[in-house]
């Protein structure tokens, strides 16, 4: 099995007040929750087991993941066959497991909470507030991991002014023709003048099962959270971390503005609504 872990147990404080009632991961990108889009990406990269890490207070996540035969039937009867197929896929062709994180103690802790569901296997991690244009990056990362056994992270080159909002890496040499580099260090949200490069982590990881052991050894970082980047640093120090510098289309939906931009850009590309939205936008700014 190829397993994907999707951490979705955070508080989503940057999206308050919406996240009082709606989990951030279910905020719709036009009409489809971000969680669904990352599940589609994982499935597109060959994953057949999806572990969503949720918090018991975020009941909407489970409600979304449990297939409702009535809804599927109603949609199918109304002639929307493609949508009905998509809805019924959940829970059938692909195994979905919900794991729980009792308290949001950080991304590293959330991933560790998936250990039992993942088992002693390699796994992908997809952050649902980073959306990719397609499954190509994750597919490439799985291939690299399967071929060499190293942990693999997705990277993007950004203007230095943006690095402080992300995990940032140091590397040796320049990326090869496939964008592959050896990662030698990882630091969480560095100040601009302390950032080791302009390469940031973009929320896609393919990790070996030993990553769980590394997470178990970690103490909470300054803000009290157990950081995935600290475990990645251990892997990098041991010479076991590769990165792929990618130019894939990417949207950071972790903030309301990033989310709104993603909704507009993704809707503009859709065959069913793109032209109508484009006409409206043009009229709006004439």
HSE, CB side, 13 Å, CA atoms: give it for residue 221. 18
CB-based contacts of 31, cutoff 8 Å, min separation 6: none
**Which CB, 127 or 234, lies closer to ligand UTP?**
127
**Which CB, 148 or 256, lies closer to ligand UTP?**
256
**Which CB, 33 or 179, lies closer to ligand UTP?**
33
Shortest Å distance, C-beta 102 to ligand UTP: 10
In whole angstroms, give the CA distance from residue 220 to residue 214: 13
Shortest Å distance, C-beta 248 to ligand UTP: 18
> Which residues bind to ligand UTP, rule: CB under 6 A?
7-14, 24-25, 53, 101, 104-107, 109-110, 127-129, 254
In whole angstroms, give the CA distance from residue 246 to residue 157: 8
**Which CB, 90 or 126, lies closer to ligand UTP?**
126
**Which CB, 108 or 208, lies closer to ligand UTP?**
108
**Which CB, 196 or 220, lies closer to ligand UTP?**
220
Closest CB to ligand UTP: residue number:
10
Closest CA to 162 of 229, 227, 258, 234: 258
Shortest Å distance, C-beta 189 to ligand UTP: 10
Shortest Å distance, C-beta 165 to ligand UTP: 10
In whole angstroms, give the CA distance from residue 258 to residue 263: 9
Shortest Å distance, C-beta 242 to ligand UTP: 22
CA–chain centroid gap for 20, Å, is 22
**Which CB, 45 or 110, lies closer to ligand UTP?**
110
Shortest Å distance, C-beta 167 to ligand UTP: 11
Shortest Å distance, C-beta 175 to ligand UTP: 25
Shortest Å distance, C-beta 180 to ligand UTP: 25
**Which CB, 75 or 112, lies closer to ligand UTP?**
112
In whole angstroms, give the CA distance from residue 106 to residue 273: 37
């Amino acid at each position: 099995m190829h397993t994907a872990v999707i951490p979705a147990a955070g508080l989503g404080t940057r999206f308050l007040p919406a996240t009082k009632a709606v989990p951030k991961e279910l905020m719709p990108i036009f009409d489809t929750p971000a969680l669904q889009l990352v599940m589609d990406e994982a499935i597109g990269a060959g994953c057949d087991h999806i572990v969503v890490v949720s918090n018991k207070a975020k009941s909407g996540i489970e409600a979304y993941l449990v297939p409702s035969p009535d809804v599927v039937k109603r949609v199918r009867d109304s002639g929307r066959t493609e949508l009905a197929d998509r809805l019924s896929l959940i829970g059938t062709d692909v195994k979905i497991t919900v794991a729980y994180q009792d308290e949001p103690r950080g991304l590293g802790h959330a991933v560790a909470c998936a250990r039992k569901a993942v088992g002693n296997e390699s796994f992908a991690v997809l952050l649902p507030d980073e959306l990719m244009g397609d499954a190509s990056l994750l597919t490439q990362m799985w291939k690299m991991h399967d071929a060499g056994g190293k942990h693999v992270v997705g990277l993007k080159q950004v203007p230095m002014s943006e690095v402080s909002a992300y995990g940032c890496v140091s590397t040796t040499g320049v990326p090869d023709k496939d964008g592959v580099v050896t990662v030698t260090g990882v630091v969480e949200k560095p100040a601009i003048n302390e950032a080791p490069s302009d390469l940031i982590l973009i929320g896609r990881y393919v990790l070996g099962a030993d990553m769980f052991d590394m997470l178990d050894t970690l103490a909470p970082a300054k803000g009290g959270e157990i950081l995935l980047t600290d475990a990645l640093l251990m892997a990098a120090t041991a010479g076991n971390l590769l990165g792929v510098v990618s130019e894939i289309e990417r949207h950071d939906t972790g903030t309301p503005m990033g989310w709104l931009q993603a909704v507009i850009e993704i809707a503009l590309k859709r065959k069913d609504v793109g032209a109508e939205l484009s006409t409206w936008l043009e009229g709006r700014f004439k």
